[in-house]
Structure 1
Amino acid sequence: MLIPQLITLDKLRKQRRSEPPRRRYRRPPRALAALRNRRWWRRQLTNVAFLAAGIFSAALGLKGFLLPNGFIDGGVTGISLLVARVFGLPLPLLIVLINIPFVILGYFQIDRIFAFKTLLTILALAGVLVVITFPILTQDKLLISVFGGFFLGAGIGLAMRGGGVLDGTEILAVYLSKKTSLTIGDIILGLNILIFAVAAAVLSFETALYSILAYLSASKTIDFIIDGIEEYTGVTIVSGRSDAIRRMITEKLGRGATVYSGKRGYGVRGEVPQAVDIVFTVITRLELGRLTDEVEKIDRSAFLVMHSVKETKGGVIKKRPLH
């Protein structure tokens, strides 16, 4: 048994001698470390600015529009407004108490930093509602619903861009979606339907309708704040002139492109078994019109498939971080 072991050890030594020497780990230069540190601090300051703007915007929507006129919103904020309206309890206290279970859930389901930011954001919102007095800007019910929802939705969206949450409904929806077959959208919709049904029974049907309008305004504002005009679109282009289209995307538009091999299926003249390169790129929706125009100049018969892209990372695309 000893001889085979010696032969094996000799082979291993020869292999190690033939292998190139491993590079030793070198610490990054101090200038590079300082640059990374600056970027980290810049990102943290940006997140704090987003959180502060979100808190004041949500407080304006609540105290300047919805609360003085008895309107509510969806989610935890809507529950807090409904309970405050019915039982006369202070809204800042209700916002903190009702959100605490969702913060604990976020601690275990997402991470500690997210839960800590969310808790601080909710406490800051409650403090702003107690300390700062906002003027009642209008008495028109339609304007109250639209702009109250707008400022509240802008506050929630800005807080999400800063890495926190002002409403714990999303955390509950993420948790329940893992335990059931329902999607996050289905759970949020069901919770809000229940909230507005209770509002119609306890308050009035008219108040519930105006509250639904405020909720729709808030939800659309959140989508705009998070996605913005830089919402991304994935475009798949099937064309016989794929190389020219790829060069146009990379050189003229300054975007990245991925080319993968495909095969044509059926056309207007029947089966066309022809190999073709397929170009895929991700652009903003502001660039979509220019891309289609440029593709049409190159190949009028090109086939384009477009779909929304929720998240991107890396590559040439510049994506603003939410956390």
Structure 2
Amino acid sequence: MKPIFQYIINEAVKRKLKRKNKKLSLDQIEKEKLNKKVELTHLIRDSFFIFLGIVSASFGLKGFLLPNSFIDGGVTGISLIITELTQIPLSILLIAINLPFIIMAFSTISKQFAIRSIIAIVLLAVTVHFIPFPIITSDKLLIAVFGGFFLGLGIGLAIRGGSVIDGTEVLAVFISRKTAATIGDIILIFNIIIFGFAAYVFSIEIALYAILTYLAASKTVDFVVSGIEEYVGVTIISDKSEDIRLAIVENMGRGCTIYSGKRGFGKRGDVLKETDILYTLITRLELAKLHTEIDKIDRDAFIVMHSIKDAKGGMIKKRPLK
């Protein structure tokens, strides 16, 4: 596998150099090879996420929602409604209704994102149409919860892979750039219209189950996209910053960054006192221990905390929790 991988990288570098028609040094060639290796590794990883997302979304649709006439929000929800009303195959509608939004993505987001999304949606439609999935249950509550879960898992994994299988987010990004509305507001309004239409055409009960399905899907998307672990960024200002730094490093096994700053509280003409500002990243599970370590040193330390959805690199994922 490794020789094939290396051969692909070498060929890609040769093609790039031929297009540029440049003679590069050995260091530059090695850098190009490294860049291509990173790109290829990320492409394989993203493709794997998209593939898993397609399988999960297909299972949610055919194993739960579609056989029991349930609907969801977004473009998928519109497709399910039209399928129930017209008997047009869901696979055709998934492509047809998503296509305008994906075309919009070429200018709104990026060409690469749009191409990946087109491929992902077509593969989703093919999977839904040709691959049989077992019908898991007929219990309405289980259908709504787990149908939404697997559909949301699929959407989240596709986003992790750099694409979408539901064009609602693309529309929301496009409209948010033209108006003062946020992406979340636009998606909410869009889905309220869908659920209202479902209540009018079908029944209020179906609309309520659709809302439950949507909530399960959206929470799962947030969980998958934001990461399994949730971190807390902590900024600490104290006269005993060095002691606190040592406690973070030695007692908690975490890293931190030191910013040079000045205390801003003072009257006109006062000389502002210089101070070191500590910044560290920890998991929520370590938050109580950090407070304990700080209180041991300086109970009057000024601490600011904010949520970090995910983190990469550094020491945080290399050291075990203590």
Taking structure 2 as the reference length, the TM-score comes to 0.82
Partner of 2:84: 85
2:255 corresponds to 1:258: no
Q: Deviations over 1:269-289 (max 9, x none)?
A: xxxx86543222333434434
The answer to whether the 8 Å contact 1:55/1:155 transfers is: yes
Q: Deviations over 1:116-164 (max 9, x none)?
A: 0000000000000011111111111111111000000000000000111
Q: Deviations over 1:6-55 (max 9, x none)?
A: xxxxxxxxxxxxxxxxxxx8542766654443333222111111000000
Partner of 2:157: 158
1-side partners of 2:264 and 2:296: how far apart?
22
Partner of 1:281: 280
The alignment partner of 1:307 has SS state of: strand
- Could you say what the CA RMSD is over the residues aligned between the two structures, in angstroms? 2.4
User: Which deviates more, 91-100 or 293-302?
Assistant: 293-302
The answer to whether the 8 Å contact 2:145/2:212 transfers is: yes
The alignment partner of 2:193 has SS state of: helix
2:309 corresponds to 1:307: no
Give matches, 1:22-61, under 5 Å.
Answer: 26-28=25-27, 33-61=32-60
User: Which deviates more, 155-164 or 273-282?
Assistant: 273-282
Name the amino acid aligned to 2:77.
Answer: G
**Where do 5+ consecutive residues of structure 1 fail to align?**
1-24, 267-272, 319-323
The answer to whether the 8 Å contact 1:66/1:148 transfers is: yes
1-side partners of 2:131 and 2:41: how far apart?
28
Give the deviation of 1:72 after TM superposition.
0.9
2-side partners of 1:295 and 1:29: how far apart?
48
Name the amino acid aligned to 1:56.
Answer: V
Partner of 1:96: 95
Partner of 1:15: none
The alignment partner of 2:218 has SS state of: helix
2:109 corresponds to 1:118: no
Give the deviation of 1:240 after TM superposition.
2.0
The alignment partner of 1:282 has SS state of: strand
Q: Deviations over 1:72-94 (max 9, x none)?
A: 11111111111111121110100
Name the amino acid aligned to 1:124.
Answer: L
What is the total number of aligned residue pairs between the two structures?
288
The answer to whether the 8 Å contact 1:75/1:169 transfers is: yes
1-side partners of 2:184 and 2:38: how far apart?
35
The answer to whether the 8 Å contact 1:63/1:136 transfers is: yes
2:179 corresponds to 1:169: no
The answer to whether the 8 Å contact 1:256/1:317 transfers is: no
Name the amino acid aligned to 1:151.
Answer: F
Give the deviation of 1:187 after TM superposition.
0.4
2:190 corresponds to 1:181: no
Partner of 1:147: 146
2-side partners of 1:142 and 1:249: how far apart?
46
2-side partners of 1:293 and 1:229: how far apart?
26
Give the deviation of 1:305 after TM superposition.
1.6
Partner of 2:189: 190
Name the amino acid aligned to 1:213.
Answer: L
Taking structure 1 as the reference length, the TM-score comes to 0.81
Give matches, 1:220-235, under 5 Å.
Answer: 220-235=219-234
Partner of 2:64: 65
Between Structure 1 and Structure 2, whose CA radius of gyration is higher?
Answer: 1
Partner of 1:132: 131
Name the amino acid aligned to 2:304.
Answer: V
Partner of 1:17: none
2-side partners of 1:274 and 1:113: how far apart?
50
Check 1:134–1:75 CA distance in 2 against 1; reply closer, same or farther (3 A cut).
same
2-side partners of 1:63 and 1:114: how far apart?
26
The answer to whether the 8 Å contact 1:260/1:277 transfers is: yes
% same residue: 51
2-side partners of 1:206 and 1:218: how far apart?
18
